[in-house]
Amino acid sequence: MTDKPFRSIVKTISWRAVGTLDTIVISYVVTGSFAMAASIGSVELVTKMLLFYFHERAWNKISFGKEKVPEYQI
């Protein structure tokens, strides 16, 4: 069984929402500036979403750690 590309896109978006909020909070704590934190979070949102999508698709092509589920016929 493999994941469809749309599943990878939805997973990418949901994970980036969590990750970007984390980055914004950490950036705010470090810089003390919400504008700077939002700027860092915005750049990080786009770059990491693209990186994650291609990383996910590459792992989907690798059989490492996958088990083939037998198909049952009725």
Say if 51 falls within a structural domain: yes
pLDDT, tens only, 13-50: 888 889 999 999 999 999 999 999 999 999 998 898 88
Say if 47 falls within a structural domain: yes
Say if 72 falls within a structural domain: no
Structural domain range at position 37:
5-60
Say if 22 falls within a structural domain: yes
Q: Report pTM.
A: 0.61
Confidence of residue 74 (pLDDT cuts 50, 70, 90): low
Say if 74 falls within a structural domain: no
The count of domains in the chain is 1
Say if 71 falls within a structural domain: no
Say if 53 falls within a structural domain: yes
Residue 52 is predicted with a pLDDT of: 82
Q: What is the DSSP string of the chain?
A: ----HHHHHHHHHHHHHHHHHHHHHHHHHHH--HHHHHHHHHHHHHHHHHHHHHHHHHHHT--TT--PPPPP--
Say if 18 falls within a structural domain: yes
Does residue 57 register a pLDDT over 70? yes
